[in-house]
């Protein structure tokens, strides 16, 4: 038993090493030979896999602000144990996104230009600023975890004092840039396929990122439970799942109402790739999870919650890929499939992210539920009272 | 006040000789990209093309929009609309995000994909010539007068005159007058414009408005959001405190009993 576990581990280590080597090689090509040599991007498809991955990274990291707002602003302390894993996920997600953006930029040596050359009309400018500010805020939010380990109480006290304004600022920056990823496409009404183009794109992006971010926590928590025996309590997960259910329903209603009002329903019946992709997205990401989540018996099973979270996340991935690639291919009159270098650099970043998550969560008190809750300063019963809120 | 310059391209007069194509290459010191200019397409080394559609010809180039989408989406203001009307680009500022290429309603900007430090490339309306009062290289080279350069206001009047005088010769529309808010390049044709490969159905309003409507809401979202979250924090905290006090009181009463 032990033996097979060990061989399984080293198998994944080898896979990770191969991915890393390919990724580093591809990065070398990217920076010495340019984007043309390393990607399948072209004048008609100027954005590809990398931008799609940025969308995903930022969207899946959305739990960082949703959980923070529930616990610190709405004082729902039941979700306290998820705060740290959520913030760590967000932190790693954003670091990867920023790294990939810099790789993707044609002139990466100028990446700092938006800091000094302002264009207040540009959505891209706004996103850049929000991502930078939010990353700074995530640093502040995560700092106590690191400081705690080294018993540096003085800075922790200061951070506690400013924690509420910091959380609120973080929520605002998140709201702005999560929705702005949708606003990026407002300017291409003629190019983005009508099933996805909408003046409500920012709203749709915002709602869907909340469902995806929370599902990501359910998903991670299941994997962590298997890897380190550090799970989250089932009632917390079920609580999250319920929120996911409501958010999915709201998101779907907003989209369908908008389609009816703007007269886009005929597009639902055209026999085209776009239509099929749209149905794939809605069935996988909305109908199936909503059906399952609406039944208590599935909400109360770890295994089912895990499966449902995979559905929700796949639907989210499909949605972003549909907007970033599927919806634009027809109008660009070319086809696009990412190159080896594009894929290997992306996979390298995924491996780096997983490795960072594992490293940080084993070295620092990220999953505090089991150890720390008992040492809380609050008297036992008052703690319960808050928890039972 | 400098008068805005522009180009009027009347495709009914175009014979497809490619003089504008060659003049543009020479003016911008661009290498040869295709031995048959009619088969060439816009690229980092080709700022204008002449396309053949049956026995008709159509020139493609940047439309030098009055409110350029490329300039409005660029995070670092690498594009600028000059007072002469040209939309020019500064590679020193550009970070290479390629949002301009994604957003341009006419799908004009091209990229130097093969370069390690690529630039965005497109027609610049011969800014350094028109600022000196010279016509653009392409219009100077055109032997038939299909492409002419002049004050934009005069060109608009001229285009309208041609449409009304030659009502059976022209398709009654000036392409570029209203498309995506209009610009400094006007095009006339004998057939509907989509038949010549021009992007059809562009809205009349300048594209940047589509984004501005949302961007304007940002300060409101930020302040209202901040106030809302702040008060929610205070309210729920207070609610929890009251609940706790009540529970404690109950607990004590029970103990006394
Ligand atoms: S046609 Fe495109 S590139 Fe030219 S000014 Fe308009 S938006 Fe910019
Ligand atoms: S590629 Fe350069 S010019 Fe185009 S939007 Fe990005 S920064 Fe601006």
| Predicted ipTM of the assembly | 0.84
First to last CA, chain A: 44
Q: Extract the runs of DSSP E, i.e. beta strands, from B122-212.
A: 147-151, 185-188
Q: Is residue A145 part of a domain?
A: yes
Q: Is residue A87 part of a domain?
A: yes
Q: Indicate the CATH number for domain B5-209.
A: 3.30.70.20
Closest CB to A107: pick one of B69, B94, B230: B94
CA nearest neighbour of B13 among B188, B154, B176: B188
Model confidence at A7, pLDDT cuts 50, 70, 90, reads low
Domain identity same for A228 and A289: yes
Q: Is residue A90 part of a domain?
A: yes
Domain identity same for A248 and A179: no
Domain identity same for A331 and A344: no
Domain identity same for A123 and A146: yes
CA nearest neighbour of A345 among A101, A108, A147, A144: A101
Per-residue pLDDT of chain B (257 residues; tens, 9 = 90+): 678 999 999 999 999 999 999 999 999 999 989 888 998 999 999 999 999 998 899 999 999 999 999 999 999 999 999 999 999 999 999 999 999 999 999 999 999 999 999 999 999 999 999 999 999 999 999 999 999 999 999 999 999 999 999 888 899 999 999 999 999 999 999 999 999 999 888 888 898 888 888 888 888 888 888 888 888 888 888 888 888 888 888 888 877 76
Domain identity same for A289 and A348: no
Q: Is residue A114 part of a domain?
A: yes
Q: Is residue A373 part of a domain?
A: no
Its domain, for residue A89, covers 18-187+340-366
Q: How distant, in Å, are the alpha carbons of A316, A323, B53, B88, B221 from that of A123?
A: 22, 16, 38, 21, 15
Q: How distant, in Å, are the alpha carbons of A344, A365, B144 from that of A335?
A: 20, 47, 39
Domain identity same for A180 and A52: yes
Place of tokens 């396309």: B51
Residue B168, C-beta contacts closer than 8 angstroms, at least 6 positions apart = none
pLDDT at A8: 66
Q: Identify which ligand lies nearest to the alpha carbon of B74.
A: 2
Domain identity same for A324 and A346: no
Q: Is residue A217 part of a domain?
A: yes
Indicate if ligand 2 lies below 6 Å from the C-beta of B77.
no
Q: What domain count does chain A have?
A: 2
**Spatial contact of A77 and A386, defined as CB atoms under 8 Å apart:** yes
Closest CB to A186: pick one of B77, B214, B229: B214
- Test mutation, B75, B80, B94, B222, chain A, max A CBs within 10 A: B75
Q: Extract the runs of DSSP E, i.e. beta strands, from B54-97.
A: 56-60, 79-81, 87-89
Within 13 Å, how many C-alpha atoms sit on residue A219's CB side? 19
Least confident of A55-64, A362-371, B216-225: A362-371
Q: Is residue A387 part of a domain?
A: no
Domain identity same for A140 and A91: yes
Domain identity same for A33 and A176: yes
Residue in B62, B70, B96 to alter for ligand 2 test, most ligand atoms within 8 A of Cβ: B96
**Spatial contact of B6 and B149, defined as CB atoms under 8 Å apart:** yes
Neighbours of B89 (CB within 10 A): 20
Distance CA B162, CA B172 (A): 10
Domain identity same for A204 and A126: no
* Number of helices followed by number of strands (H, E) in chain B: 8, 9
Domain identity same for A172 and A203: no
Residue A46 backbone dihedrals phi, psi, to 5 degrees: -75, -15
Within 13 Å, how many C-alpha atoms sit on residue A28's CB side? 6
Domain identity same for A92 and A111: yes
Q: Is residue A220 part of a domain?
A: yes
Structure tokens at A61: 């990291």
**Spatial contact of A64 and B223, defined as CB atoms under 8 Å apart:** no
Within 13 Å, how many C-alpha atoms sit on residue A385's CB side? 18
Element (H, E) at B215: helix B208-215
Q: Identify which ligand lies nearest to the alpha carbon of B88.
A: 1
The answer, for B33 touching chain A at a CB cutoff of 8 Å, is no
Q: How distant, in Å, are the alpha carbons of A40, A200, A260, A282, A286 from that of A253?
A: 37, 12, 11, 12, 11
């Amino acid at each position: 038993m032990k033996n097979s576990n060990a061989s399984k581990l080293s198998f994944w280590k080898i896979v990770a090493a191969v991915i890393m080597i390919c990724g580093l090689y591809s990065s070398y090509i990217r920076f010495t030979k340019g984007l043309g040599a390393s990607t399948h991007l072209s004048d008609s498809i100027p954005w590809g896999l990398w931008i799609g991955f940025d969308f995903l990274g930022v969207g899946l990291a959305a739990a960082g602000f949703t959980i923070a707002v529930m616990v610190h602003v709405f004082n729902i302390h039941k979700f306290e144990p998820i705060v740290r894993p959520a913030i760590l996920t967000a932190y790693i997600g954003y670091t990867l996104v920023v790294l990939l953006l810099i790789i993707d930029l044609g002139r990466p040596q100028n990446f700092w230009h938006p800091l000094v050359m302002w264009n207040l009309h540009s959505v891209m400018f706004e996103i850049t600023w929000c991502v930078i500010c939010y990353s700074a805020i995530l640093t502040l939010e995560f700092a106590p975890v690191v400081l705690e380990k080294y018993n540096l109480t003085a800075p922790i006290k200061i951070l506690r004092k400013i924690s509420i304004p910091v959380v609120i600022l973080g929520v605002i920056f998140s709201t702005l840039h999560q929705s702005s990823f949708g606003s990026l496409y407002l300017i291409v009404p003629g190019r983005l396929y009508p099933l996805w183009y909408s003046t409500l794109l920012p709203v749709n992006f915002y709602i869907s990122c909340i469902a995806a971010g929370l599902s990501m926590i359910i998903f991670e928590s299941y994997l962590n439970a298997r890897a380190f025996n550090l799970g989250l309590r089932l009632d917390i997960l079920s609580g999250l799942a319920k929120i996911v259910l409501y958010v999915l329903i709201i998101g779907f209603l907003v989209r369908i109402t908008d389609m009816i009002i703007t007269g886009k329903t005929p597009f639902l019946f055209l026999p085209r790739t776009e239509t099929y992709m749209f149905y794939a997205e809605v069935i996988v990401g909305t109908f199936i999870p909503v059906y399952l989540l609406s039944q208590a018996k599935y909400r109360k099973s770890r295994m089912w919650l895990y499966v449902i979270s995979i559905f929700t996340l796949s639907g989210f991935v499909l949605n972003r890929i549909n907007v970033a690639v599927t919806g634009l291919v027809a109008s660009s009159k070319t086809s696009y499939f990412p190159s080896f270098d594009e894929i290997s650099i992306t996979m390298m970043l995924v491996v780096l992210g997983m490795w960072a998550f594992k490293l940080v969560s084993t070295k620092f008190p990220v999953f505090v539920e089991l150890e720390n809750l008992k040492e809380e300063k609050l008297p036992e019963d008052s703690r319960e009272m808050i928890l039972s809120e | 006040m400098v008068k805005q310059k522009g180009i009027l391209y009347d495709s009914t007069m175009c014979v497809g000789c490619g003089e504008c194509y060659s003049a543009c290459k020479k003016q911008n010191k661009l290498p040869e990209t295709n031995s048959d200019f009619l088969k060439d397409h816009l690229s980092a080394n080709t700022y204008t093309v002449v396309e053949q559609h049956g026995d008709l010809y159509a020139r493609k180039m940047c439309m030098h929009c009055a409110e350029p989408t490329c300039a409005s989406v660029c995070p670092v203001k690498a594009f600028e609309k000059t007072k002469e009307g040209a939309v020019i680009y500064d590679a020193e500022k550009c970070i290479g995000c390629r949002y301009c290429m994604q957003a341009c309603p006419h799908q004009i900007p091209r990229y130097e994909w093969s370069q390690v430090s690529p630039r965005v490339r497109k027609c610049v309306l011969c800014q350094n010539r028109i600022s000196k009062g010279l016509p653009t290289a392409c219009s100077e080279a055109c032997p038939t007068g299909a492409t002419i350069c002049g004050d934009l206001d005069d060109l608009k009047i001229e285009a309208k005159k041609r449409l009304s005088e030659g009502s059976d010769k022209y398709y009654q529309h000036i392409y570029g007058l209203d498309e995506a808010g209009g610009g400094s390049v006007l095009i006339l044709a004998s057939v509907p414009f989509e038949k010549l490969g021009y992007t059809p159905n562009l809205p009349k309003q300048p594209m940047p408005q589509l984004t501005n409507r949302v961007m304007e809401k940002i300060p409101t979202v930020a302040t209202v959001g901040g106030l809302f979250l702040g008060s929610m924090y205070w309210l729920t905290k207070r609610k929890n405190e009251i609940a706790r006090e009540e529970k404690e009181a109950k607990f004590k009463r029970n103990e006394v009993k």
